[in-house]
Structure 1
Amino acid sequence: MEQPYDDSGVPLSYQPEKLEPYNHNLENSDEVNDSPIEEVRLTVSIKDDPTLPCLTFRTWFLGITACAALSFLNQFFSFRQNSLSLTSVSAQIAVLPLGKFMAAVLPKKAVRIPGTKWSFSLNPGPFNLKEHVLITIFANAGSNGVYAINIVTIVMAFYHRHIHPLAAMLLTLTTQMLGYGWAGIFRKFLVDSPYMWWPANLVQVSLFRALHEEEVRPKRALTRLQFFLVVLVSSFAYYVVPNYLFPSITALSFVCWIWTDSVTAQIIGSGRSGLGIGSFALDWATVAAFNGSPLAYPGFAIINIIVGFFLTVYVLIRIAYWTNAFEAKRFPIISPHIFDSNGQEYNVGLVLNETNFEFNRQGYDDYNKVHMSIFFAFIYGLSFATLAATVSHVALFHGRIIWQQTKATFRDKFDDVHTRLMKKNYDAVPQWWFYSLSLIMIGLAMVACEGFGGQLQLPFWGVMLAIGIVLFFMLPIGVITATTNQQPGLNVISELIIGYLYPGRPLANVVFKTYGYVSLVQAITFLSDFKLGHYMKIPPKSMFIVQLVGTVVASSVYFGTAWWLLTSMDHLCHPSKLPVGSQWTCPGYNVFYNASIIWGVVGPLRMFGRLGLYVKMNYFFLIGLLAPVPVWILSRMFPEKKWVRLINMPIIISGAGNMLQATVVNYICWITIGVFFNIYVYRRYQSWWARHNYILSSGLDAGVAFMAILCYFTLQIRDINGMRWWGLELDDHCPLASCPTAPGIQVKDCPIFH
């Protein structure tokens, strides 16, 4: 029978179920009808079929394939100027027709494993929703990146040193898997609690429902799959322009073209090296690079990011630069590099002992202190503030709920409809699974750090200290992520702590940071996937097994891809030596390298302590701690004003946090698209948004990815680049935007001010 549609072409079955009012009293009620979060009620089904097969041959084959493919593509793209990050949503859509095809052609006869009584079916029936979810969780493991690759890259491409491949592989694996134990400790708070709703998961939940509901093509409209294919083909065809024929289209800064001889005008107008006023791009990779697709962010989070971005870039940085704070005019206004007092790039070789790879204090005293661009300095200050604001925001806005949840957890009282269904139909993952895995990973981490001649420089106590920091911050950061889709990181505070305790060792610093930062990130990722499975009613043990295998596969493929590129490509990460228009500039790794110098070689005592130039940045800890207080007071004074509670100071403070890797033009494009689709279109054309928004995002991502891979393996790997012309340069043609404006500072290709 033909499915009925509303006036906008949305299937009526896609509308949310009729629900009874939710009883908010978790402690006094054993029965509640649905989630207390409106977005969850509108998106997540309250039905379950526990008879559906989950860990089938199709799940393993398509899941591992998707995981490996996304791992390769994301690592491949991470070395490029616009390091597009492909999410699991792309795989989520792509595997559906493959799963249905396998269900149609594979034999249904049981296959017996030789020498055992075990058997399985290649085709246990129609391709079902739960298989699809587990394949997507596999893909999630491949889409989230492997932070330890930063260490391998800076050692080989920037410090030009050798690292033992087994040490690098153990570092990669242990940092990715150490967080599973922390997830086991906190899953009661961050998964079972109905208030921890993980908004990013609703993208996939709504897409699952759309893809698995039977759909007939509406009159004068396209089905969702047809729409996805149209977007995919269009994005694929168009991306040959910014990727190969006209790379300059990734940042168009017309102000620089008008005032070609004015340093000030180019600082104001450059989208890559300046404030980007009037700058824009015609490239989806520019939009989605670094910050991800804006179509996947809640509208309130986009608004908070906008406020933070504009206050940081167009108020704080402009005032600080033109008042010459920290001698700002001696250096570029925005730069991830470090400098000496004369505006020249810092010569690290003079302060690093090549024999033992440790800080050379005498060389430092004879040379120069480390200076940063004003933006680089304030980004560190804002990072301090973000961490402090996260703690105080969670304490003020969620402290009472967390306390109630703590009491409810010990009495096992979380009982919304989704939790009831999971407890009724499936066995929970035993806690000893998590703890055993963590103990194994801690042991392997000790081997990686203490073995191989101490190449990684970090002693065993550093690993244990990193674990302690993660356990302290896990709950507040988990709450922020589970409610806002923003995830404050521990990277800066980790660098600060180990920099004071164990200074002068760059690899020890970045390894400690990775164990602290990434084990928390992986725990959050694990919990997010568990919440997705919670919403989709997947057996918890199946989710655990899939995540475990997916993490091993992803770690191996990320490491293998990076090692291949680092050992086979000449001049990777060195833009001055690459061909004109080459994308292989490694902006993210450049930031990581300079951070290793600031925190590891020179150390925080000589940067942000009493011996440094930036000691005032420590006031940002206090600013961040106090920032949520006025918002909390307003929310108490005006409880009827719901928009007040949507003001999120940790997000606002960190609004421009990715700009050392990204640029202003990336942010401007991201904001423009995000506001248009997730605020304007969402409010004016909600039916269209519900039907097409996430599919549009997936199609654009996938098209860009496929064209970039095609161009590289057919042309660019053979050094066949586009025709030489003005638009071939991967630049916005603002050569003066990186020039100093202080009198007497002489930098190559820049005018001297008097």
Structure 2
Amino acid sequence: MAGRADGSGEEGGDPIISTGMDVSLYLVSFVDEGDPALTFRGFVLGNFFLLLSSVVGYIYSLKPVTIQLSQVFIQLAIWILGMGWAKLLPTTQCIRRSSRFAFLKPFIRFINPGPFGLKEHVVATIIGTSGLNGAAGVDTLATMKLFYGARITPLMAVLGLFSVGIMGVGLVGLLRPLIIYPSSAVYYYTLPMVAIFEMLHHEARGNRVRNFCLCFFGTCLWEPIAAYIAPILNGVSLPCIASIHSPMRIRKHVARIFGGASANQGMGYFSLSFDPQYVSPSNFAGFPIKWQSNYWGGMWLGGLFILLIYYTDSFSAKTFPFLSASLFTSEGKPYPQDEVFGQGSWELNEGALAKYGTPRLTGSGVWAFFCQLAAIGALFTHVGLFMGRDMVGFVREHLTGQHHDPHYVAMKGKYKEVPQWWYLGLFGLAIIAAFITVTQAHTTLPAWGLLVALLVGITITPISAMIYSQYGSSVATNMFSKMIAGAVHPGRPVANLWFSNYCHQLVAITVDLADYQKLAIYLKVPHRVAMISQCYATIAGSYLGWAILSVLVQNKREILLDPVGDNQWSGGHLQGMNAQAIEWSLARQVFSVHPGKPATHYEIVPLGILIGASVPVVHWLLFKHIELIRKAGEMITTPLVLMYLQDMTSGINSTVTSSIILGFTMQVYLRVYRPRIFREWCYLLSGAIDGAAQIVVVILSFTVFGGSGHSHPFPTWFGNPDGPSDHCVTTKTA
């Protein structure tokens, strides 16, 4: 294998995809047919799926397993409907020039402009998949209503959601030279979509289309078996099956280590999942090996730490559930936050706090808090030490007119750029709306607190986006923003939520929007059309999401407040947000040492930032002096390792082993030793599997899983047991 200085090479004449430039040159086509991008047809189809994806996404955010309509599902569905629209509706060719109906030609051309083109397909998909961009703002309102009985005023909803969404649009535009234009900014999550777009519009027939269809329909046949008839296929755990007749005390130990098919059950070690809705091929077959190596190491090592914390009873872990994001009293009972933070004022009641004590976390919850803060600390020092020179170079290239990504260069002079003042104007409007929201609505966040949140968010965003653009994943900043809010606004959990909204959410939405900005460049969608589409979809999706969640929170309040939930509904996502807000609003009481206070040892949590910041420094020194570390290169990225150390603290963990096997096969074996197969099939077929699985899951959700109000469970048998599907027991109590 001939190697190049950048680490890529060729195997039998086929290039091995190793760098961002390799992706641009060998994976993405330069074809630009100049077809229209913004059409009435595309706008209608995009809005239909904006509505559908928002309904499904927000409803399932309150389910035990979160489900969203995948990008590939929406992409394929829009293509089918767009092709049908183009063929079935009248075209201008149906009317002769001399006909008395010739005056209808402009109208008919507007309704059906002809063949369904690539660019209008891309724009419709951007609109249809952007409905959840403003989800954090919606979640903040839902958390206030669920846990604090807040009455959300129209002012708070309209201006609050507008400010959160549009602020991200403005900032991503200002940061384009740094996080979008360089070829190293790949955004790997979009590559399966790029492959499918090009197949659908540039390859009318051939093996790729045939194999895509075979894979797609094969998954459609398999998914009902894995998801409905035999859900044991999501977590085949031989230790759990072997321990079915063992005493309960033994079965609980087995479940904590090997169980993981149910939410908050166990670590899922050596469980195998054969359900593509959970083991998403697009994530683990397409993401680069430099991301997967950090994921593998972090997840497995983190699970061992979680078990160690529990079995050594660190942080009184055995008093609480093994895995949970809820808050508890020191006796392990649900924490009475309604009394400690009185409804209406949403500020700390010192008398109630003295009565019930400070809220307590599970051992896994403390670990999650610590690792997230350590990852943030590592993010700053890692980017500064390992990526700082690249960031300066990207800005210099932009200022001198030298753009590294050949696809952006191909668009220059052909499509008008979005002027910077457009993005500046949007950003300014969003800031004004934010200040009106926090000062006029009852958020308990003062104007100066909003200013601090914005400054922190603007500082973190380019750093976080740099990691995401090159790895396909980044470090969550939610915990960090809540910690700062707790320091500057003690005793105010609602202020903490809003502070995070304008700090963490600014980071998160900017990264999401940058993903599609890069997709538009890869597929030659005009810059202005892409920007307008994102603005519209983000705002429309936010308002629609709030309309959905406000009704659900009101009607399902009791079960959403339950720390465990049931098989149909779970408030785990909102509980996690609320737990973080409360813990950090009591930062001085919870995370510091006080004479006479029972020792919880939570003071290690805020120290996580300093501990995490030191890890890349050690890594950098080893990188400079040890050849083995230097050869590993980006295979070791300490912020990501620290982030994934806490990834198994909640949710379903039975998928980890299968995802590692899948990722190793694709990224280590096929990418290096079968590069042609990797280039032609990896992203295309993983997209087919993802899309098919999501279609079937949505259908099952509304037909047999209770999405329509009535569930129709499959008869109980060994593959569908009455209880956790992997035959382990639950681990709710010690």
Q: Could you say whether these structures have the same fold, taking a TM-score greater than 0.5 normalized by the shorter chain as the test?
A: yes
Tell me, in whole angstroms, the C-alpha distance in 2 between the residues paired with 1:181 and 1:701. 32
2:547 is matched with 560
What displacement does 1:384 show? 1.1
What displacement does 1:435 show? 1.6
Higher alpha-carbon deviation: 279-288 or 144-153: 279-288
- Give yes or no for the alignment of 1:693 onto 2:686: yes
Q: Is the 8 A contact 1:573 1:585 kept in 2?
A: yes
Higher alpha-carbon deviation: 437-446 or 633-642: 633-642
2:721 is matched with 727
Letter in 2 for 1:613: H
Q: Is the 8 A contact 1:382 1:654 kept in 2?
A: yes
What displacement does 1:83 show? 0.6
Q: Could you tell me which of 574, 592, 616 is aligned with 1:589?
A: 574
1:4 is matched with none
1:487 is matched with 474
Letter in 2 for 1:517: H
Higher alpha-carbon deviation: 555-564 or 378-387: 555-564
Letter in 2 for 1:535: Y
What displacement does 1:225 show? 3.4
Letter in 1 for 2:431: I
Q: Is the 8 A contact 2:705 2:713 kept in 1?
A: no
Deviation per CA, 1:592-642: give whole Å up to 9, x if none.
Answer: 222222123xx2112223447311223322332122234434554549965
Q: Is the 8 A contact 1:236 1:706 kept in 2?
A: no
Tell me, in whole angstroms, the C-alpha distance in 2 between the residues paired with 1:586 and 1:292. 28
Tell me, in whole angstroms, the C-alpha distance in 2 between the residues paired with 1:539 and 1:508. 40
1:711 is matched with 704
Change (3 A) 1:382 1:735: same
Tell me, in whole angstroms, the C-alpha distance in 1 between the residues paired with 2:19 and 2:642. 30
Deviation per CA, 1:273-327: give whole Å up to 9, x if none.
Answer: 3333454555444445xx985344333322211100111111x233333333333
Spell out the pairing of 1:730-749 with structure 2 (5 A cutoff). 737-740=731-734
Change (3 A) 1:657 1:65: farther
Change (3 A) 1:247 1:168: farther
1:748 is matched with none
Letter in 1 for 2:122: V
What displacement does 1:56 show? 1.2
Q: Could you tell me which of 17, 20, 30 is aligned with 1:46?
A: 30
Provide the secondary structure at the position in 2 that maps to 1:425: coil
What displacement does 1:406 show? 2.4
Change (3 A) 1:52 1:266: closer
Q: Is the 8 A contact 2:186 2:470 kept in 1?
A: yes
2:268 is matched with 276
1:360 is matched with 349
Spell out the pairing of 1:176-191 with structure 2 (5 A cutoff). 176-191=165-180
Letter in 2 for 1:47: V
Change (3 A) 1:171 1:667: farther
Q: Is the 8 A contact 2:133 2:538 kept in 1?
A: no
Tell me, in whole angstroms, the C-alpha distance in 2 between the residues paired with 1:680 and 1:157. 48
Q: Is the 8 A contact 2:134 2:164 kept in 1?
A: no
Change (3 A) 1:100 1:619: same
Spell out the pairing of 1:546-695 with structure 2 (5 A cutoff). 546-569=533-556, 571-574=558-561, 582-600=567-585, 603-611=586-594, 613-637=601-625, 638=627, 642-679=631-668, 686=678, 687-695=680-688
Spell out the pairing of 1:322-333 with structure 2 (5 A cutoff). 322-333=311-322
Change (3 A) 1:499 1:666: farther
Letter in 2 for 1:618: P
Deviation per CA, 1:95-154: give whole Å up to 9, x if none.
Answer: 112212222233334999x9xx99962233321111121122112312546112322332
Deviation per CA, 1:219-263: give whole Å up to 9, x if none.
Answer: 9x9342353234235425653336xxx699668643663433215
Q: Is the 8 A contact 1:82 1:286 kept in 2?
A: no
Q: Could you tell me which of 699, 702, 706 is aligned with 2:695?
A: 702
Letter in 2 for 1:594: A
Tell me, in whole angstroms, the C-alpha distance in 1 between the residues paired with 2:315 and 2:638. 26
Q: Is the 8 A contact 2:276 2:690 kept in 1?
A: no
Change (3 A) 1:565 1:587: same
Q: Is the 8 A contact 2:319 2:332 kept in 1?
A: yes
Letter in 1 for 2:54: S
Deviation per CA, 1:40-97: give whole Å up to 9, x if none.
Answer: 3221123333x32111122211111222211111112111111123232211122112
Change (3 A) 1:269 1:160: farther
Q: Could you tell me which of 332, 345, 360 is aligned with 1:371?
A: 360
Work out the number of aligned pairs and report it.
696
Letter in 2 for 1:697: D
Spell out the pairing of 1:389-538 with structure 2 (5 A cutoff). 389-452=378-441, 454=442, 456-538=443-525
Higher alpha-carbon deviation: 716-725 or 653-662: 716-725
Change (3 A) 1:55 1:444: same
Q: Could you tell me which of 241, 246, 253 is aligned with 1:254?
A: 241
Change (3 A) 1:719 1:95: closer
Tell me, in whole angstroms, the C-alpha distance in 2 between the residues paired with 1:364 and 1:250. 42
Change (3 A) 1:482 1:688: closer
1:300 is matched with 290
Q: Which runs of 5+ in 2 are unaligned?
A: 1-9, 96-100, 595-599
What displacement does 1:181 show? 1.9
Provide the secondary structure at the position in 2 that maps to 1:121: helix
Change (3 A) 1:277 1:19: closer
Q: Is the 8 A contact 1:89 1:698 kept in 2?
A: yes
What displacement does 1:694 show? 1.9
Provide the secondary structure at the position in 2 that maps to 1:139: helix
1:79 is matched with 62
Q: Is the 8 A contact 1:108 1:121 kept in 2?
A: no
Q: Is the 8 A contact 1:337 1:372 kept in 2?
A: yes
What displacement does 1:653 show? 0.8
Tell me, in whole angstroms, the C-alpha distance in 2 between the residues paired with 1:736 and 1:721. 20
Q: Is the 8 A contact 1:177 1:522 kept in 2?
A: no
Change (3 A) 1:691 1:738: closer
Q: Is the 8 A contact 1:137 1:547 kept in 2?
A: yes
Higher alpha-carbon deviation: 504-513 or 685-694: 685-694
Identity of aligned residues (%): 23
Tell me, in whole angstroms, the C-alpha distance in 1 between the residues paired with 2:479 and 2:207. 51
Change (3 A) 1:723 1:447: farther
Provide the secondary structure at the position in 1 that maps to 2:721: helix
Q: Is the 8 A contact 2:378 2:616 kept in 1?
A: yes
- Give yes or no for the alignment of 1:228 onto 2:179: no
Higher alpha-carbon deviation: 510-519 or 561-570: 561-570
Tell me, in whole angstroms, the C-alpha distance in 1 between the residues paired with 2:572 and 2:322. 17
Change (3 A) 1:724 1:119: closer
What displacement does 1:340 show? 2.6
Provide the secondary structure at the position in 2 that maps to 1:548: helix
Provide the secondary structure at the position in 1 that maps to 2:601: coil
What displacement does 1:558 show? 1.4
Tell me, in whole angstroms, the C-alpha distance in 2 between the residues paired with 1:734 and 1:48. 54
1:60 is matched with 43
* Cα-Cα RMSD: 3.5
Letter in 1 for 2:267: L
1:12 is matched with none
Q: Which runs of 5+ in 1 are unaligned?
A: 1-14, 23-33, 741-754
Q: Is the 8 A contact 1:340 1:371 kept in 2?
A: yes
Q: Is the 8 A contact 1:294 1:674 kept in 2?
A: yes
Q: Is the 8 A contact 2:373 2:608 kept in 1?
A: yes
Provide the secondary structure at the position in 2 that maps to 1:665: coil
Provide the secondary structure at the position in 2 that maps to 1:664: coil
What displacement does 1:666 show? 4.6
Provide the secondary structure at the position in 2 that maps to 1:618: coil
TM-score (normalised: structure 1) = 0.84
1:26 is matched with none
Q: Is the 8 A contact 1:151 1:510 kept in 2?
A: yes
Change (3 A) 1:406 1:563: same
Q: Is the 8 A contact 1:494 1:513 kept in 2?
A: yes
Higher alpha-carbon deviation: 476-485 or 432-441: 432-441
What displacement does 1:500 show? 1.2
